[in-house]
Amino acid sequence: QAVTHLACAPKSNAAYLALERAAEDARHASDTGVPNHLRDGSYTGAKELGHGDNYIYPHDCPGHFTKQQYLPDSLAHRRYYYPGALGYEKRLRQWLEATKGLPEEEKS
């Protein structure tokens, strides 16, 4: 049954392509660092460096979502995951549209 289910399920390589795009950027953007608000702020001296400042804990936000930036500034404009229109990805796409908004050309 499991084999039949998987064989008949909608297929997508969107996650694979997202990982490939992110890995490519990671290979070529080695001069960028982790944003300060995502750095560990729990050790002595971290606060003086600005580590952990202004971090927003998503689970404290409505819908457990915040528009906080997680990528370095040089990559902030990048988008890696483009959900398809089939299966569960269709629901993910709707959720992304509702929370983050997709560019108009992506909404078709």
pLDDT in tens, the chain (108 residues): 999 999 998 899 999 999 999 999 988 887 778 899 999 999 999 999 999 999 999 999 888 888 889 998 889 889 999 999 999 999 999 988 888 765 544 444
How high is the pLDDT of residue 101? 62
How high is the pLDDT of residue 100? 73
Distance from C-alpha of 38 to C-alpha of 73, rounded to nearest angstrom: 13
Give the residue numbers spanning the domain of 78: 12-31+72-108
Distance from C-alpha of 81 to C-alpha of 96, rounded to nearest angstrom: 10
Residue 56 placed within a domain: no
Backbone angles phi, psi at 71, to 5 degrees: -95, 155
Residue 25 placed within a domain: yes
Domain count, the chain: 1
Cβ pair 96, 102 in contact under 8 A: yes
How high is the pLDDT of residue 104? 47
Residue 22 placed within a domain: yes
Q: Torsion angle, CA of 84/11/87/57, rounded to 10 degrees?
A: -60
Give the three-state DSSP class for 91: helix
CA atoms within 13 A on the CB side of 102: 17
